[in-house]
Chains A and B, each alone.
Chain A
Amino acid sequence: MGSLFILGAEGPTEFVDIAGWFLENAWIIPALPAISFVIILFFGKKLPYKGAEIGITAVGLAFILSVLTAGQWMNQVDNAHGSEGGHGEEAALVLVDDDIELASAEADSEAAAFFAEEGEEGHSVVGRNAVVERFTWWENGGVEFKVGIMVDGLTVMMLFVVTLISLLVHIYSTDYVDGDRRYTHYFAFLSLFTASMLFFVLSENVLQMIVGWELVGVCSFALIGHWWEEKPNSDAALKAFLTNRVGDMGLLIGMIILFWSANSWSIIDINEAAIGHDIGHTTLFIASLCLTAAVMSKSGQFVLHTWLPDAMAGPTPVSALIHAATMVVAGIYMVARLYGVFWEGYSIAGSSFNILALVGSVTLVGAGLLAFVQDDIKKVLAYSTVSQLGYMCMALGVGAWTAAVFHLFTHAFFKAGLFLGAGSVSHSVHSFDMKTHMGGMRKFMPKTFATFMICTIALMGLPPLAGFWSKDEILVGTGGWGFFGGTSANGSYTFALVMGIIGAALTCAYMTRVIYLTFFGEWRGAEHMHHDDHGDGHDDDHGHAHEPHESGPRILIPLYILSFMAIVAGFFNLPPGFITGSEEGWQERFFHYVEPVSSYFPAIKHGVPSYSLAIFATIVALLGAFASYYYFFVRVNRQSPAATELANGLTSTNKVARAGHTVLKEKYYLDHLYTDIIAGGTKGPVADAAYWTNQNVIDETVNQVGRTAVSTATFVYETIDQKLVDGAVNLSGSASEGLGEVSRSALQRGKVQQYAAIMFIAATVIAGLLMVFI
């Protein structure tokens, strides 16, 4: 009875099943690009457009289907709302009455208050069951492994974003990688990448999520290493893959813990078990920690973010796809999908600190600082992505679910626009280096400049463009704004609020720098134009103008669409009562359609937006922008239009500033930590020790032992303690070397059958011993 009641109290009382052809057959959406992948792979080269047309058709159809699916979902939600609208307050009243019987009265009265509030706002509390279609894939030992789709508001939103961005990237790519030596291969993997992400998004159970997660990783590996002939590119691909493996361990362990404790793979079952307290709190906490590690690697959170900037080695459209719609948002999506687990595991409500929020906020500021010192425009954008993902992670950590997902939504458009814009610039100057090849580009590429500016302002979070609305919601959701008429968010995460505002100012400042270095001042690329080395590696066959030129329509049209979305996307979730003062109507549409009201979603509370917070955050952000503006547009420009920094700036005169700059340039030395200290250290002593044991105990190649022992000894000798180990190791080294020499001449003769004979004799002896003694 108890658990039933708690479930009833935290979720709505009535559930409406939502159905519809497009919702139930959403599996077609990932199937289309998957089929296109196979067709392109096998027949692509023989087709007139080398496979691009198949990819575009498939993703285009998938996009249309996604729009129809989204439309059907919205329609069904409205129907549910309309027919049951009157029940709102009734339900809340019933819940309040039931409070007496509930175990944790406090939490539940909160929930009841939430529902009452919701009722006033005109939102229905009628639950909406997700559309779930599944069948048993296989069964083993009584456990059924299902495969299927789960469609709810979050899913249709992701389907829309992924297919739209992917479609635009496809169109853009036909121009951008035109004439590439692996053009067909490129489009095949683009299709597979899209299919994997869509498959991941539609997952009905966590097992499917793991499969989709890994598929996305594999595709990113293939695409980052698209120009693998150059060593740095294949290194970057490997780095991306291996760094992700670290987090994948966390994912696997976390999912297995959840499976054993909820006894189901289904996302809905796991969330319901977590919310209904059927799983112990400690178990949930450990699972959340493991999954957070997965998010850190996939979504590029501090300290596992190092692969993400290197992943810029791939073609620019791929970067746009990875950074905006696929891959990196997989981590965020996973948290959003399993929010019940994180909600309970981290006890997000009523708290003021948790690890998810900490990771997010540290990433937000840390990556924002790193973006300052990058000269490569794509790397600035990469760190910017890391920083914005930090926002989302932080928002999820503080309980602002809708804000996080909404930021994912808006960020996808303007960040894709920025990447594609950067690609457009680099396409004409054949480099990504802002300091050596760019500057003054607005004269040559006015259209790219315009779209880039729109997306930049959206990213900066200045009203009224998209970024402002989602950023503001996140700041509200932290609940840290206690000074000016507090907000009723889930906890009081003041540190998150402070970091969020600092991050906004940083974003403004580094984006102003990018704008200046790329589009203003004087073009610095003239001397490189004749002997440039195609920073991109792709073969450019259209005639070399001596000046940069505007890109063609296949590049510009995606930019127009994305900048249009960067303007309007924010209006999908205006705060209630904004402008019109009315509670009904067109505010909070995004929240209304996307946030699940169901038994698998925790009863989170929503902060009340505050004008004072919005104005304050905007002023701080503008201060950041103006500081950067003053430095670059006024002082640097006065020094010389072609200059990229002040000749006698702070870093050259102030020791502390220079040290800080160096630390940032070296990316906090994290790469050194990983490759030199951790990997090098492990490769040295641990591997040596394992090798030593193996060779000494098992194998006949005992002669290796002496050498390895000596090398192990050398390591220990040099690093840990000279005096303790010295004598012993030398002794054992020379002893085993002697033994090895003897056995080498007698046993190690390379005769396969001699080895086999020894093996069989040994087996006989062991079997005999077993028989005698057991």
Chain B
Amino acid sequence: MLLVQFLLLSAVLFCIGVYGVLARRNGVMVLMSIELILNAVNINFVAFGAFNGTVTGEVFALFVIAIAAAEVGVGLAIVLLIFRNKRSVDLSDVDLMKG
């Protein structure tokens, strides 16, 4: 197996994730897209780890998984809060930072 095939798969998932983050209106779906990005990163970590013959890549993938779990928890809590205040999870409605 070539290293590059994993890297390309990871790049595809990453870019699909980026598209999702930018194109989705629903807060929950944006979070899902972020998960895609994080998984793409994980594939890279593990692939490079296997390529170098160390476990460091795997360890970092585990850290990313742990942090992603925390991120989803906080992210969904924020989405819930937005929903409670606005009765909607539409991110285009959330523009309090408007200058």
Residues of A within 8 A of B (CB): 701, 703, 744, 748-753, 756-757, 760
Contact = CB atoms under 8 A, between A and B. Distances in A.
A748 B18 CA distance: 21
12 contacts: A749-B95, A750-B94, A750-B96, A750-B98, A750-B99, A751-B91, A752-B95, A752-B97, A753-B91, A756-B21, A760-B18, A760-B22
Contacts of B97: 748, 750, 752
A744 B96 CA distance: 14
Contacts of B85: none
B92 interface: yes
A750 B21 contact: no
Contacts of A748: 97-99
B: interface residue count bin: 10 to 19
A751 B99 CA distance: 10
Interface in B76-94: 91-92, 94
Contacts of A701: 99
A744 B97 CA distance: 11
Given A701-B99, A748-B99, A753-B21, 15 more contacts: A744-B99, A749-B98, A749-B99, A750-B95, A750-B96, A750-B98, A750-B99, A751-B91, A751-B95, A752-B91, A752-B94, A752-B97, A756-B21, A756-B22, A760-B18
Given A751-B92, A752-B91, A703 B99 contact: yes
Interface in B18-73: 18, 21-22, 30
A753 B95 CA distance: 10
Closest A-B pairs by Cβ, 6 of them: A750-B95, A748-B99, A750-B98, A750-B97, A744-B99, A757-B22
A748 B99 CA distance: 5
Nearest to A744: B99
A753 B22 contact: yes
From DSSP, what is the main secondary structure of chain A's interface residues? Answer: helix
Nearest to A747: B99
Nearest to B99: A748
A179 B32 CA distance: 53
Contacts of B91: 751-753
A753 B98 CA distance: 13
Interface of B: 18, 21-22, 30, 91-92, 94-99
Contacts of A750: 94-99
A749 B98 CA distance: 5
A685 to B, nearest CB: 25
A752 B96 CA distance: 10
A749 B97 CA distance: 7
A745 to B, nearest CB: 8
A757 B18 CA distance: 9
Contacts of A749: 95, 98-99
Contacts of B18: 760
Contacts of A756: 21-22
B78 to A, nearest CB: 11
Contacts of A760: 18, 22
A758 B91 CA distance: 16
A701 B96 CA distance: 14
A438 B35 CA distance: 69
A757 B19 CA distance: 9
A757 B21 CA distance: 9
Nearest to A740: B99
A744 B98 CA distance: 9
A105 B30 CA distance: 77
Contacts of A753: 21-22, 30, 91-92
B16 to A, nearest CB: 13
A752 B34 CA distance: 14
A383 B96 CA distance: 51
Nearest to B27: A752
A756 B22 CA distance: 7
Contacts of B92: 751, 753
A715 B49 CA distance: 56
Contacts of B95: 749-752
Contacts of A703: 99
Nearest to B22: A757
Contacts of B30: 753
Contacts of A752: 91, 94-95, 97
Nearest to B30: A753
A757 B23 CA distance: 9
Contacts of B94: 750, 752
Nearest to B19: A760
A760 B96 CA distance: 22
B59 to A, nearest CB: 15
Contacts of A751: 91-92, 95
A750 to B, nearest CB: 3
A75 to B, nearest CB: 52
Contacts of B96: 750
Nearest to B91: A752
Nearest to A757: B22
Nearest to A763: B18
Contacts of B99: 701, 703, 744, 748-750
A673 to B, nearest CB: 39
A43 B24 CA distance: 49
Contacts of A757: 22
A771 to B, nearest CB: 14
Nearest to A754: B22
A756 B98 CA distance: 15
A744 B99 CA distance: 6
A757 B92 CA distance: 14
A701 B98 CA distance: 10
A756 B17 CA distance: 12
A141 to B, nearest CB: 14
A750 B99 CA distance: 7
A309 to B, nearest CB: 43
Nearest to A702: B99
Nearest to B21: A756
B65 to A, nearest CB: 23
A750 B98 CA distance: 4
A492 B27 CA distance: 75
